[in-house]
């Protein structure tokens, strides 16, 4: 087979599997959210659509498709329509640089037995910069959706989301820079390869960065206890109050996709990515299973925290972001940089 044609086919297959899996997991999270909350409250949760309610995400999709799509009077129609896509698409694009496993050999029948492909849609030397740059665009959809709705509740939700994103993205970036300083690479695959063994995972050598990143991830995805962009006791439903049908579904899909990407990044940066503890050179399918298990752990944490902690006040959110987390992230980065510069062995 022509090498160029082979590479195109491999890329199409990988893109289809990764993006299909992302949408599938995002849909599954809508069911997991209800099932986990029901389990914590001693309820059954969805149990009418399919066995154990497993077809509930499909029922939700059908419901959204057939619901009437409304545009409020006085709204900016173009921005109102495009805002959900602006919120959802960047979250989906960032998954392209996540390494889900090691390089795998291509089938011999393709005529190139020595060829390998990485288990990611693409490998970029600046994958972390790409992820932060593209992922940060989602907030524009939230802001524009709130402003274009011509509703004070939606506008306040969008403004809260923008202030929250700016406050906690600084902490997020500084914790990532500490990991970059240790690994010496902006490539996500390079970060994974810098954690070859269990005791070399960054969670053991950057515990403060691990905690700060975990908390900032909740704020960056507008998840409880930092869900001030859609705080129902104060803002009805926040930035998406006026949305219905598939436009509302796109906002929800973007949030769940962002959760999956953030959980994958958490795994990659601090838990060795696709590395299997105490099993060097594990088969690629075992590595993929290990990556999925670690990512599922953080996704469960998203759901667990929602039904465990009360929501903060907005002033408490800003106080924590600027007066607690940001100084701690700066100190951690300074100490990490000093240790690396002076050759202190952090491993």
Tens of pLDDT, residue by residue over 96-120, are: 999 998 888 877 655 555 577 888 8
What pLDDT shows up at residue 292? 93
Q: Does 172 score more than 60 pLDDT?
A: yes
What pLDDT shows up at residue 296? 93
Task: Count structural domains, the chain.
Answer: 1
The pTM score is: 0.89
Q: Write out the two tokens for 108.
A: 């011999």
For residue 124, give the nearest of 91, 154, 99 by alpha carbon.
Answer: 99
**Highest-confidence range of 42-56, 224-238, 291-305, by mean pLDDT?**
291-305
What pLDDT shows up at residue 176? 94
Q: Does 212 score more than 90 pLDDT?
A: yes
Which pLDDT band, with edges at 50, 70 and 90, does 164 fall under? Answer: confident
What pLDDT shows up at residue 1? 61
Residues pairing with 284 in the sheet: none
Q: How many CB atoms lie within 10 A of CB 258?
A: 25
**CA separation for the pair 3, 117 (Å, rounded):** 12
Which whole number is the average pLDDT over 20-39? 90
On whether residue 148 sits in a domain, the answer given is yes
**CA separation for the pair 181, 118 (Å, rounded):** 24
Q: How many CB atoms lie within 10 A of CB 255?
A: 23
What pLDDT shows up at residue 347? 53
**CA separation for the pair 259, 146 (Å, rounded):** 21
Which pLDDT band, with edges at 50, 70 and 90, does 345 fall under? Answer: low
What pLDDT shows up at residue 234? 67
On whether residue 211 sits in a domain, the answer given is yes
Q: Does 67 score more than 90 pLDDT?
A: no
Q: Write out the two tokens for 83.
A: 């805002």
For residue 26, give the nearest of 56, 49, 51, 57 by alpha carbon.
Answer: 57
On whether residue 35 sits in a domain, the answer given is no
On whether residue 262 sits in a domain, the answer given is yes
On whether residue 251 sits in a domain, the answer given is yes
What pLDDT shows up at residue 346? 57
User: Is residue 187 packed enough to be buried (19+ CB in 10 Å), middle (13-18) or exposed (0-12)?
Assistant: buried
Which pLDDT band, with edges at 50, 70 and 90, does 281 fall under? Answer: confident
What pLDDT shows up at residue 81? 84
On whether residue 245 sits in a domain, the answer given is yes
What pLDDT shows up at residue 111? 53
Question: Contact 106/112 with Cβ under 8 angstroms?
Answer: yes
Domain extent for 215: 71-105+125-341
Taken in order 268, 189, 191, 320, is the CA torsion positive or negative?
negative
Question: Contact 29/299 with Cβ under 8 angstroms?
Answer: yes
Q: DSSP class of residue 52?
A: G
What pLDDT shows up at residue 108? 63
Cα angle 241, 243, 246 (rounded to 5 degrees) comes to 145
Q: Does 229 score more than 90 pLDDT?
A: no
On whether residue 120 sits in a domain, the answer given is no
Residues 6 or more apart whose CB falls under 8 angstroms from that of 10 comprise 106, 117
Average pLDDT over the chain, rounded to whole? 86
Q: DSSP class of residue 120?
A: S
Residues 6 or more apart whose CB falls under 8 angstroms from that of 237 comprise 153, 157, 230
Which whole number is the average pLDDT over 309-313? 84
Q: Does 264 score more than 80 pLDDT?
A: yes
Instruction: Tell me how far apart the 2 most distant CA atoms of the chain are, in Å.
Output: 63
What pLDDT shows up at residue 288? 92
Q: What percent of the chain has pLDDT over 90?
A: 25
On whether residue 260 sits in a domain, the answer given is yes
For residue 177, give the nearest of 326, 343, 297, 299 by alpha carbon.
Answer: 326
Bond from prior residue into 225 cis (ω within 30 degrees of 0): yes
pLDDT, tens digit, 9 for 90 and up, residues 173-194: 999 999 999 888 899 999 999 8
């Amino acid at each position: 087979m022509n090498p160029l044609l082979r590479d195109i086919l491999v890329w199409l297959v990988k893109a289809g599997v990764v993006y299909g899996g992302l949408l599938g997991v995002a849909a599954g999270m809508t069911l997991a959210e209800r099932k986990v909350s029901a389990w914590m409250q001693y309820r059954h949760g969805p149990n009418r659509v399919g066995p154990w309610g497993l077809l509930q995400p499909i029922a939700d999709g059908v419901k959204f498709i057939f619901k009437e799509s409304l545009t409020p009077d006085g709204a900016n129609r173009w921005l109102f329509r495009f805002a959900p896509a602006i919120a959802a698409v960047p979250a989906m694009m960032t998954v392209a640089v996540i390494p889900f496993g090691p390089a795998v050999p291509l089938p011999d029948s393709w005529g190139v037995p020595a060829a390998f492909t990485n288990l990611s849609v693409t490998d970029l030397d600046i994958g972390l910069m790409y992820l932060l740059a593209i992922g940060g665009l989602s907030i524009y959809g939230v802001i524009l959706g709130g402003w274009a709705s011509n509703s004070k509740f939606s506008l306040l939700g969008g403004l809260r989301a923008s202030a929250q994103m700016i406050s906690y993205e600084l902490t997020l970036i500084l914790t990532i820079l500490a990991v970059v300083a240790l690994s010496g690479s902006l490539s996500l695959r390079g970060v994974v390869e810098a954690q070859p063994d269990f005791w070399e995972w960054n969670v053991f050598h950057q515990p403060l960065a691990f905690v700060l990143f975990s908390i900032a991830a909740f704020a960056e995805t507008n998840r409880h206890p930092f869900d001030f962009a859609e705080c129902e006791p104060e803002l009805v439903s926040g930035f998406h109050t006026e949305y219905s049908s598939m436009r509302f579904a796109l906002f929800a899909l973007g949030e769940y996709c962002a959760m999956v990407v953030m959980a994958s990044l958490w795994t990659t940066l601090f838990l060795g990515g696709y590395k299997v503890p105490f099993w060097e050179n594990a088969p690629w399918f075992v590595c993929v299973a290990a990556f999925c298990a670690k990512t599922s752990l953080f996704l469960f944490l998203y759901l667990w925290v929602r039904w465990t902690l009360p929501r903060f006040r907005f002033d408490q959110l800003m106080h924590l972001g600027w007066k607690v987390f940001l100084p701690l992230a700066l100190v951690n980065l300074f100490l990490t940089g000093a240790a690396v510069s002076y050759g202190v062995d952090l491993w």
